Amino acid sequence: MKRGLVAAAGESAPVYAARLERMRARVREAGAVAALVYGDVYRSDDIAHLTNLCIYWNEGVLAVPAEGPPAFLAKLSARVHPWMRRTSVLEDLRASQKLAQLIASYLDELGAGPVALVDEDWWPADLVADVRAATPDRATLALVDAIREGRLVPDERDLADLRRAGEIVAGALAAAKDAEGAVTERIAALEFAARGAGARDVLVHAHSLGDGALALELTVQYANVWASAARTFGGSESADAGLQAARAALVAGSSPLQIARAAGEVELALVHHCDLGSAGDYRPATDVGRSLAGGEVVAVTVRSDGAVAGDTFHISAAGALPLTAAAEVTA
């Protein structure tokens, strides 16, 4: 369950309106009456990108019609609808424990025509089957990466939030380094710093290396974006050289495989910022060989002899700029 700061769309509402209109254009291009985007607490960033809605628990489907406003159809109780309206750009919110039937009823209002499932391979199989059973006369189309591809190079709104997320990560890791006591005290200091600076979600992996040495990997959500970094305190610095070599190779036109080779004899993970919320579990398999583009933001983590090193980088004309290297964070 997400339990951190959720800010209203506010002055960014026109940004979400433009993103929704681009999605409607994709729906019309596909010849569908609407696109359905599945989301749950583990994978809801596409929905947040379009609407600023935080799915903090349970699951739901965002319906984006070819024309008109979107609707959020969910198992969440209707008692949360006032909060959702205040924090997102959504007005049409519907709730039912019978989600497939709720979707079918909504589609009936739109009239005849196919419906597009965005990234169907990542939907729960039983929900897809139930939706098809509830809409036997309606064809379904596939839209793959229809939202994610527009997030690969962040717009000004997301890039500003990514910079802030990077500052929060850096400040939280600094707090952990400065904390005294056992691993639990360091993690408590880390989470206190991140939450106090506005993090919505905080994911921590800690690895004790013995003799007081500690490897920490931290991923933070701020607003609707994520940043990640890793540090080793008091142990081997063997991962640092690999990270620096990877950074030098992190340029527009390079691929994750090329960057891994440049890092040398270390274990390297490269995860796009779009996929950090689910630790890369939902990224397309084709990403391994895809060349990176200028403007993209990726997290690189290197592991070697138990030590870790990592940062989130913005691939710019000036090189790979670390977003998670700031020394401290102010609330």
Pick the closest to residue 50 from 28, 22, 11 (CA basis): 22
Specify the pairing of strand 34-40 against strand 59-65. antiparallel
Distance CA 74, CA 90 (A): 13
Read off the pTM. 0.95
Beta bridge mates, 218: 204, 229
pLDDT digits (tens, 9 = 90+) for 180-212: 888 999 999 999 999 999 999 999 999 888 888
Specify the pairing of strand 71-74 against strand 92-95. parallel
| Domains, in order of start, for the chain | 10-151 (3.40.350.10), 156-322 (3.90.230.10)
pLDDT digits (tens, 9 = 90+) for 151-172: 999 999 999 999 999 999 999 9
Residue 2 is predicted with a pLDDT of 86
pLDDT digits (tens, 9 = 90+) for 257-301: 999 999 999 999 999 999 999 999 988 888 888 999 999 999 999
Pick the closest to residue 40 from 24, 62, 19 (CA basis): 62
**Confidence check: pLDDT of 329 > 60:** no
Specify the pairing of strand 34-40 against strand 225-233. unpaired
